[in-house]
């Protein structure tokens, strides 16, 4: 892994020093053209580190295997406020967490020390959420995947200073899904998420409840927030020291904040709601026996039909709901959820009891890409480019005073998102738009895979790939669109759309 990085670093060094060869000159011009100020950074001796950081995207640090010592923590369901003035109160606060047995780690959390509770909203209801900042720094409360007016979306325009609070109101109109919430302050998102600010938002609707899918929270319906973290020698989340401009990748796997987790399940179908809540790591989830599972939902709702898979990839901020059938699994099978490279993420502890009866109906939803959507011309082009701090969208960095696009409320437009490769090939950028659930029209001109034919708010885009999406905003306001590698976002790989 390091070898390729080193070879590359040496190569780049040679190119820089021997400025007289034409090849080197081309390289130099290329860099100046593409990365501008990068040359200066190289001269400061940061290059080796940076290049290796980038090259490591091809061969990412393996996560430590979960020993299965600790029962997985299940996020608490947030109780509704009793006074009736607001539906929920969500407080960003500091805390201390015993992630390791022998140390306390300083963390951030919502209504607790680390991560956050689950907020449940019902389709059709009007809710008020009081947000409170008890941190020593500014933060925002962003509702990822929620179709909400721009002023309530919690982007970088809506910072709360320490001690401030703000109540937002919204009408919940979208279908059953698992969304999430996290901070979005300009330039500080990655650090605040890294320290623990992330919670889940469940939208519930009557229709999906009739399907008979596993839905006993914490028993056969389990949220799994996957995050990788690096800790310093004092077992602290020392972001300033550990961060990587190209996306901070850790060697320790936390699920719902639990280190070395295991999940005890009964002999029944179990619904796992997966969220890649990492700053930058991509996951490909598999079962260690190569067995299949069933995907039932994407970011923003149920798929039309269940899809049988033996692996599923999620880039940062993407979600998927899968059902694993443990009915015929024995404890001796030592079944586990593993990552692409085989590292054990979540061992399952199957207890002898029979569980609940549940179903996976053949028809789950009715979300279709219409002929009209398929035939709409591309009216917005987004070009993702760069690495490290030299990341841009359409050649520009985020400017809070610049509106990049406008779109009419309720009108569908096709956006073409292109991940322009760089001289080293480039890297996957997960692309997210605030305030909307969209549909994938095509990937490089071809229909999306069956398990992407549902509502999405974040998509993985490979280098060189062009993805067309049909986007509609239900509300007005200014919304962000950005790369969800949080360091890229903080480094300005973000634009703004005004919906009028």
Point out which residues bind Cu ion (CB under 5 A): 429, 483, 485, 488
Two tokens, residue 457: 């708010």
Residue 208 exposure: Cα atoms within 13 Å on the Cβ side: 23
Strand order from edge to edge, sheet including 336-338? 70-71, 261-267, 344-354, 336-338, 283-287, 312-314
Beta carbon of residue 484, minimum distance to Cu ion (angstroms, whole number): 8
Beta carbon of residue 391, minimum distance to Cu ion (angstroms, whole number): 6
Which CB, 28 or 383, lies closer to Cu ion? 383
Beta carbon of residue 70, minimum distance to Cu ion (angstroms, whole number): 32
Which CB, 429 or 439, lies closer to Cu ion? 429
Which CB, 57 or 475, lies closer to Cu ion? 57
Beta carbon of residue 151, minimum distance to Cu ion (angstroms, whole number): 27
Which of 322, 325, 298 is CA-nearest to residue 309?
322
Beta carbon of residue 429, minimum distance to Cu ion (angstroms, whole number): 4
Two tokens, residue 372: 């009209």
Beta carbon of residue 413, minimum distance to Cu ion (angstroms, whole number): 23
Two tokens, residue 247: 């996306």
Which CB, 66 or 279, lies closer to Cu ion? 279
**Burial letters 273-312, b for 16+ CB under 10 A, else e:** bbbbbbbbbbbebbbbeeeebbbbbbbbbbbbbbbebeeb
Which CB, 196 or 426, lies closer to Cu ion? 426
Dihedral over Cα of 451, 456, 458, 461: its sign = positive
Q: Do the Cβ atoms of 150 and 450 come closer than 8 Å? A: no
Q: Which residue is nearest to Cu ion (CB)?
A: 483
Which CB, 269 or 429, lies closer to Cu ion? 429
Residues 444, 448, 453, CA angle at the centre, nearest 5°? 150
Q: Do the Cβ atoms of 436 and 349 come closer than 8 Å? A: no
Which CB, 322 or 485, lies closer to Cu ion? 485
Which CB, 148 or 485, lies closer to Cu ion? 485
Q: What CA–CA distance (Å, rounded) separates 14 from 272?
A: 50
Beta carbon of residue 493, minimum distance to Cu ion (angstroms, whole number): 5
Q: Do the Cβ atoms of 475 and 435 come closer than 8 Å? A: yes
Two tokens, residue 313: 């990839």
Beta carbon of residue 338, minimum distance to Cu ion (angstroms, whole number): 26
């Amino acid at each position: 892994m390091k070898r390729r990085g080193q070879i590359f670093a040496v190569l780049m060094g040679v190119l820089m020093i021997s400025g007289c060869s034409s090849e080197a000159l081309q390289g130099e011009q290329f860099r100046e053209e593409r990365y501008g100020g990068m040359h200066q950074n190289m001269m400061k001796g940061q290059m080796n580190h940076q290049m290796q950081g980038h090259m490591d995207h091809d061969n990412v640090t393996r996560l430590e295997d979960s020993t299965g010592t600790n029962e997985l923590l299940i996020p608490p369901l947030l109780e509704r406020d009793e006074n009736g003035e607001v539906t929920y109160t969500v407080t960003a606060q500091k805390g201390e967490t015993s992630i390791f047995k022998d140390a306390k780690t300083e963390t951030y959390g919502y209504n607790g020390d680390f991560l956050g509770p689950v907020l449940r909203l019902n389709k059709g209801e009007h809710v008020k959420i009081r947000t409170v900042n008890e941190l020593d720094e500014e933060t925002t409360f962003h509702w990822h995947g929620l179709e909400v007016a721009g002023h309530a979306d919690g982007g970088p325009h809506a910072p709360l200073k320490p001690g401030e609070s703000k109540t937002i109101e919204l009408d919940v109109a979208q279908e059953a899904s698992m969304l999430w919430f996290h901070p979005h302050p300009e330039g500080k998102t990655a650090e605040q998420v890294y320290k623990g600010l992330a919670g889940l938002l469940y939208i519930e609707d009557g229709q999906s409840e009739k399907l008979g899918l596993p839905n006993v929270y914490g028993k056969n319906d389990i949220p799994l927030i996957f995050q990788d973290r690096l800790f310093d020698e004092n077992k602290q989340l020392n972001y300033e020291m550990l961060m990587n401009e190209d996306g901070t990748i850790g060697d320790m796997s936390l699920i719902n904040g639990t280190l070395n987790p295991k999940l005890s399940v009964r002999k029944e179908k179990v619904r796992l709601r997966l969220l890649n809540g990492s700053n930058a790591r991509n996951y490909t989830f598999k079962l260690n026996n190569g067995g299949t599972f069933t995907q039932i939902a994407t970011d923003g709702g149920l798929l039309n039909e269940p899809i049988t898979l033996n692996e599923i990839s999620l880039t940062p901020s993407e979600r998927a709901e899968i059902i694993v059938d443990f009915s015929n699994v024995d404890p001796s099978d030592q079944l586990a959820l593993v990552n692409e490279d085989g590292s054990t993420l979540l061992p399952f502890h199957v207890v002898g009891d029979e569980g609940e009866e549940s179903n996976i109906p053949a028809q789950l939803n009715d979300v279709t890409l219409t002929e009209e959507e398929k035939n709409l011309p591309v009216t917005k082009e987004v070009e993702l480019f760069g690495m490290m701090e030299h990341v841009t969208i359409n050649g520009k960095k985020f400017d809070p005073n610049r509106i990049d696009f406008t779109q009419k409320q309720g009108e569908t437009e096709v956006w073409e998102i292109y991940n322009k490769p760089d001289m080293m090939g480039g890297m996957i950028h997960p692309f997210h738009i605030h305030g909307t659930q969209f549909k994938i029209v095509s990937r490089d001109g071809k229909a999306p895979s069956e398990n992407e034919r549902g509502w999405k708010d974040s998509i993985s885009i490979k280098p060189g790939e062009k993805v067309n999406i049909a986007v509609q905003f239900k509300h007005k306001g200014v919304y962000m669109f950005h790369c969800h590698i949080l360091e890229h976002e903080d480094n300005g790989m973000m634009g703004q759309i005004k919906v009028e």
